[in-house]
Amino acid sequence: MQIPRHLKIGAGMAGVGVFGILFGWVLFPTILKSQLKKEMALSKKTDVRAMWETIPFALSFKVEWKEKLEIEENEEDDTIMYKRRDTFYFRPELSGPGLTGEEIIVMPHILMISIATIVNRDKPAMLNMIGKAFNGIFDGPEHVFMNVKALDILFRGYKINCARTEFAPKAVCTALKKEIADSLIIEPNNQYRFSLFGMRNGTIDSHVITVKRGINNVMDVGKVVAIDGKTEQEIWRDTCNRFEGTDGTVFPPFLTVNDRLESFSTDLCRPFKPWYQKKTSYNGIKTNRYIANIGDFANDPDLQCFCDTPDTCPPKGTMDMMKCMKAPMYASLPHYLDCDPAVQSKVKGLNPDDNQHGIQIDFEPVSIVI
């Protein structure tokens, strides 16, 4: 029996339709996932590996460029060890109309307050001596605030006069050179300069970070498994010493809105776990927006091990950095965003704004591109 021509065409079209459905809904996603698993691993053959080694764009800090050096691979346990170099470039066009970095700002004197706080805690009887030392090395300051150029406090450093021969200034300068040498620029005639980022600029961090390559299991890609050969920290209590999440420069693919992003911050000695907020898009590409904050240590059971006891946790939205940075400092979001209102009320002139001061991250959910 001869099949009518229109039935042949219909059957052919149906076959094409079935193939299209199979390819579009079954085969193509399978092929795509298989290919992405290969491309998202930190193999030497992938573009992701090149981007992971040297991120090809400045981060949202607006002055920072990250690079990984001295890379060593271990095929046996599917890991990579590396050191990190951060390079800072001042970009005035991103810093506000007309700002050059030479503007004078008024801020708490970081070194004076830090030294006084530590001495008051450990050896309060020496506070009078510390006052004499400050008069010498900081040239008779009238108060605990400093007038300093923005670029000086960030990179170039402000002066500490360690040419003084009196006992008190000499003792403090000796302690500074011993405790914070990695933050000091030593100039001729015993003149020191201190800055927040200057000594880190373009230098290789001594810490060796070990992460998973993700070749054996792409969902492990970038996961921090050790720092300086240690698989846990020795800073906090209990589970807070664990390394959790990636190194923050790569994330596994195929994450859904129900998955928490995780990355470990070596600067803050803790992981961060942003949570999904809403669907977004960037240049027509569908993305998922995640947000993060410092947290509420006293009321979040998962964060209480960052405190000595639940009763000694800092106020909501702040984190005590003494154990991590060895300095009496607290971390918070700008303008005390998401902090306890009692903290915000103690400072005049604050205007916390989610859009300006919050942590917002847009991810392409399939390949996890920031």
Exposure letters 27-64 (e unless 16+ CB within 10 A, then b): eeeeeeeeebbebbbbeeebebbeebbebeebeeeebb
Q: Which two tokens stand for residue 368?
A: 């996890």
Positions in the chain short of pLDDT 50: 1, 5-32, 57-60, 369-370
Picking from 221, 240, 245, 242, the residue whose alpha carbon sits closest to that of residue 231 is: 242
Contact call for residues 236 and 271 (beta carbons, < 8 A): no
Q: Which two tokens stand for residue 38?
A: 């290969």
Give the CA diameter of the chain: 115
CB atoms within 10 A of CB 234: 7
Exposure letters 285-316 (e unless 16+ CB within 10 A, then b): eebbbbebbbbbbbeeeebbbbbeeeeebbbb
Q: What is the pLDDT of residue 252?
A: 85
Q: What is the pLDDT of residue 348?
A: 86
Contacts of residue 220, Cβ cutoff 8 Å, sequence gap at least 6 = 78, 212, 214, 252
- Amino acid at position 161, single letter: N
Mapping DSSP to helix (H, G, I), strand (E, B) and coil, where does residue 299 land? Answer: coil
pTM over the 0.85 mark = no
Q: How far apart are CA 150 and CA 147, in angstroms?
A: 9
Q: Which two tokens stand for residue 322?
A: 């003494």
Q: What is the pLDDT of residue 124?
A: 84
Q: Which run of H or of E encompasses 155?
A: none
Picking from 209, 182, 210, 205, the residue whose alpha carbon sits closest to that of residue 74 is: 210
Q: What is the pLDDT of residue 313?
A: 94
Q: What is the pLDDT of residue 35?
A: 52
Query: CA 55, 202, 271 angle in degrees (round to 5)?
Result: 55
Q: What is the pLDDT of residue 147?
A: 92
Q: What is the pLDDT of residue 178?
A: 83
DSSP state string for 183-231: GEEEEGGGEEEE-SSGGGTTPBPSPPEEEE--SS-GGGTTBEEEETTBS
Q: What is the pLDDT of residue 338?
A: 92
Contact call for residues 228 and 82 (beta carbons, < 8 A): no
Q: How far apart are CA 152 and CA 356, in angstroms?
A: 25
Express each pLDDT in 236-280 by its tens digit. Answer: 999 999 999 998 888 888 778 888 788 999 889 999 888 889 998
